[in-house]
Amino acid sequence: MRYLEHLSVAVRMDGWRCVKLYRDERFPVSAPLLWVYASGVAEDVGVVVEVRAVPGNGWAYYERSRYLFRCGDVNAAAERVGRLLRHRMFPATW
């Protein structure tokens, strides 16, 4: 959850909104998740991020089975999440 907390701060500074889905009885998920989404017109566009172990005793951010970035560089991970959100909001412009 610590890595997701750091990511939530970084993406909020970029103007995105977050919902933390951390082991809440209302949301039966096996791992902590962070839902990052656009505010305003495109609130239905989002990215659900989780943290997984990677080889070499490290951790990385993932969206579904898609690798996003290693947890050591939260700003780069936030930029990658932002690009993915912008692409989903405006697919014809990419």
The Cα–Cα gap between 43 and 91 comes to 15
Residue 48 is encoded by which pair of tokens? 């659900």
Question: Would you state the pLDDT for residue 23?
Answer: 72
Residue type, 45: V
**pLDDT (mean) for 54-65:** 93
Helix (H, G, I), strand (E, B) or coil at 10: helix
Q: What average pLDDT is seen over the chain?
A: 88
pLDDT tier at 39 (50, 70, 90 boundaries)?
A: confident
Q: Please tell me the predicted confidence (pLDDT) of residue 43.
A: 64
Q: Which residue type does 30 have?
A: S
Indicate if the pLDDT at residue 18 is higher than 80: yes
CB 49 within 8 A of CB 4: yes
Residue 2 has pLDDT above 90, yes or no: yes
